């Protein structure tokens, strides 16, 4: 009974690419930690130069009873821009290396149209 359950489980993992998804999740968490350290250690100190003496993440615009939290929006936009830029550079690097590998090998592959 246990052996069959184990075999079914291993077959499920292989057929559904669960292992690849799990690896992607782990890499994504580490990547998020890396990007957060770039933002907190490099980008935010530069931005704080422009808002000296204030905590810019807490900047709000008051319109009567409505308080627009502009600082949070700026921080989210910066997170998005940094993540997008890092992913773009990483994909561009991988595609360039893949092209070098294909050119240096004897593998005949049809041309692939890529627009980074």
Question: Mind listing the domains of the chain with CATH numbers?
Answer: 2-104 (1.10.1200.120)
Q: What percent of the chain has pLDDT over 70?
A: 84
Structure token pair of residue 65: 């009873």
Question: Mind listing the pLDDT tens digit for each residue in 37-56?
Answer: 887 888 778 877 876 766 77
Check residue 106 and give its pLDDT: 62
Cα–Cα distance measured from residue 30 to residue 37, given in angstroms and rounded to the nearest whole number: 11
Cα–Cα distance measured from residue 33 to residue 38, given in angstroms and rounded to the nearest whole number: 9
Residue 109: which pLDDT band, with cuts at 50, 70 and 90? low
Burial class (CB in 10 A: 0-12, 13-18, 19+), 38: middle
Cα–Cα distance measured from residue 54 to residue 31, given in angstroms and rounded to the nearest whole number: 29
Residue 116: which pLDDT band, with cuts at 50, 70 and 90? low
């Amino acid at each position: 009974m246990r052996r069959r359950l184990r075999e079914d489980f291993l077959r499920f993992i292989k057929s559904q690419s669960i292992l690849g998804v799990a690896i992607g999740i782990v890499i994504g968490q580490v990547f998020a930690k890396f990007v957060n350290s770039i933002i907190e250690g490099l980008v935010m100190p530069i931005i704080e130069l422009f808002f000296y003496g204030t905590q810019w993440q807490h900047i709000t615009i008051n319109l009567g009873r409505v308080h627009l939290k502009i600082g949070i929006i700026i921080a989210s936009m910066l997170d998005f821009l940094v993540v997008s830029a890092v992913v773009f550079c990483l994909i561009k690097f991988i595609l360039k290396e893949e092209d070098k590998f294909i050119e240096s090998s004897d593998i005949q592959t049809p041309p692939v149209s890529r627009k980074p």
